[in-house]
Chains A and B, each alone.
Chain A
Amino acid sequence: MILQSNDLVKSFGGVTAINHLSLTVEKGTVFGIIGPNGSGKTTFFNLVTGMYPPTSGTVTFNGRNITGLRPHRIAELGIGRTFQIPAPFTKMTLLENVMVSTFIRASSLKESRKMAWEILELMRLDDKGNTLVANVTLEDRKRLELARALGTHPTLLLLDEVMSGLTPAEVKGAIELIRSLRTEELTIIVVEHIMDVILSLCDRIAVLDYGQKIAEDLPDHIVNNKDVIKAYLGERYSARN
């Protein structure tokens, strides 16, 4: 296993966003997290990446306790993430955006420029490498999120709703792209609202509700789970399938 959260709790004042959550993600898999709005999916990512410390509980990455480490240290250890709302460096070019994230792996500016071009090519953004972020579309910014996360050369990649706001055609392209990233060396955790995306990408799915895990299973089983239907999918969805 590559990532394990152990009895994780995060409260903001009186609100418990994550409530005794224990999850285990196996190496080389694509793991999905679904749940209603406010169920703690993004908070979970923020705890794993060290953006804020948990109230209690621990996060273990590759057998190492990473609870309380600063985010840049966790990035160095190999966890990359994307933001739900793209958070690019707006007044920099796409190339420069990715270069910044390669600094922890490259020994020189020249090497990091080379690495960044390779990633832009992989993301099919190389024709816009020298364009300012301010001048590209939302789809390109979403791709840039992904490119920048890959720039840190992660072994665990956290994708926070990378498809939201994209057209169906763009979603299809994005699914292909994420499939192509999948290797033995790269574990991916996907948070997504579009069920088709989750079902076609993931090996295993966990369902959160009010910060608690209410189910964890194979995709086929999840869509027929009663609790999941009640909390998230709704009767209509299950009837359709």
Chain B
Amino acid sequence: MPSQVGQVKANAAKILWRWAPLSILILVVLSIPWIVSPLWIRIVTEVLMWAGLAQSWNIIGGYTGYLCFGHGAFFGLGAYITGITMMHLGWPFGVGLLISGILSALLAMIIGYPTLRLRGAYFAIATWAFGEMVRQVATILDDVTGGPVGLQLHPFLNLPYFYYVMLGVTGLTYLTTYLLLDRARFGYKVLAIREHEEAAEMVGVDTVTIKVKAFALSAFFPGIFGGVFAYWVTYIHPDSVLGAQLTDFMVVMAFLGGIGSLWGPLFGAIVVQLVQRILWLVWGEGTFYLIIIGAAICAVVLFIPNGLIGLMESRFLSPREAVSQLKKTFKW
């Protein structure tokens, strides 16, 4: 009898030991709004949003190998759609978010079908032009978007609420990426396209459809994030939700953390956001921190093309190896 009790106890201990770290992590993440100051709730919410955005970019840029430089447009579209459906149509927040995500994905399909035939720098330029186009459209349609003045939403000042919403959307982004890209046929096909597109097509992968799907998926989440952001900050204008910096930061975070990996964008988002905050605290308001971040990015792209994740797994590359690896990845 005593030995049986001992056995049960040992098993329980084992299970506890195994799940304890994860449970503690979940507990900490869920209780953050109740233990830290409002400033830090805001900072962590921001980190979560960027982690999700960087992951969204990673789906097309990292997993599929198509460098999209217009991803900010999907964020801005989501922000405006949610804002417009709430303010002009009086629809609930959740409905606005869903429509934002779906319309972003649809727009990605329409844009992606012709542009995903382009490779490397040409795709980057086409998507960048698309991003600029969306910004101009948002500025011109001032009847619905407010033009350069912007769009004011009904303020809803509840930091924990937005923290949990952001946590949910980011969690969904990572779960979807994990299930579809790391654990399903779709993911293998996407990787095959990145590694050798003709060969993938030749062994039966419908490359056009898979690429368009991957692009739509990578645009769906930024649409939702844009909607959450709009309601959270309650005031949006073309520069805040459609500025070039939005895309830049998604790219930078994904690269810094490690493109084509599940956890890379999360690391990248945490590091960039925290560094940005620290520099901001040191130098105050201004854009000087961008210079530092720019220099850091150059170093990362040249010397650790696999990002922080890759660094944990391997070693630094020589400049020559770095350049050849980059060329291979983006078919220059």
Name A's B-contacting residues (CB within 8 A): 49, 51, 70-72, 75-76, 80-81, 83, 87-92, 96, 99-101, 103-104, 109, 112, 148-149, 151-152
Contacts and interface: CB of A to CB of B under 8 A. Distances in A.
B321 interface: no
Interface string B305-332: 0000000000000000000000010000
Nearest to B201: A71
Given A87-B196, A109-B185, A101 B191 contact: no
A87 B199 contact: yes
Given A99-B188, A103-B188, A109-B185, A81 B195 contact: no
A103 B189 contact: yes
Contact of A89 (B185, B199, B207, B328): B199
A76 B206 CA distance: 10
A100 B198 contact: no
Given A99-B188, A100-B188, A103-B189, A92 B195 contact: yes
Interface residues of B, number: 22
B97 interface: no
Given A109-B184, A109-B185, A101 B204 contact: yes
B258 to A, nearest CB: 13
A190 to B, nearest CB: 17
A216 to B, nearest CB: 26
Contacts of B195: 88-92
Contacts of B192: 89, 92, 100
Contact of A103 (B185, B191, B199, B201): B185
Contacts of B204: 72, 75-76, 101, 103-104, 152
B203 interface: yes
Main secondary structure of the interface of B (DSSP, over half): helix
Contacts of A80: 203
A152 B192 CA distance: 15
A147 B185 CA distance: 19
B202 interface: yes
A92 B188 CA distance: 9
Given A70-B206, A72-B207, A92-B191, A100 B196 contact: no
Given A103-B188, A103-B189, A109-B184, A49 B202 contact: yes
A83 B197 CA distance: 13
A184 to B, nearest CB: 23
13 contacts: A70-B206, A71-B202, A72-B202, A72-B206, A75-B202, A89-B195, A89-B196, A89-B199, A92-B192, A103-B189, A104-B204, A148-B199, A148-B203
Interface string B202-213: 111111100000
Given A75-B201, A100-B192, 4 more contacts: A72-B206, A88-B195, A109-B185, A148-B199
B188 A51 contact: no
B134 interface: no
Contact of B203 (A70, A91, A100, A109): A100
Contacts of B194: 91
Interface in B162-200: 184-185, 188-189, 191-192, 194-196, 198-200
B201 A72 contact: yes
A78 to B, nearest CB: 10
Output the residue of B184, B196, B203 with the most chain A CB within 10 A.
Answer: B203
Nearest to A79: B202
B189 A100 contact: yes
Nearest to A75: B204
B188 A96 contact: yes
A89 B205 CA distance: 13
Q: Which 4 A-B pairs have the closest CB atoms?
A: A101-B203, A89-B195, A104-B204, A75-B204
A89 B194 CA distance: 8
A102 to B, nearest CB: 9
Contact of B202 (A81, A88, A109, A112): A81
B203 A149 contact: yes
B187 to A, nearest CB: 10
A49 B203 CA distance: 10
B262 to A, nearest CB: 15
Nearest to B193: A89
Contacts of B185: 103, 109, 112
Given A75-B204, A152-B204, A51 B198 contact: yes
Nearest to B197: A87
A95 to B, nearest CB: 11
Contacts of B199: 83, 87-89, 148
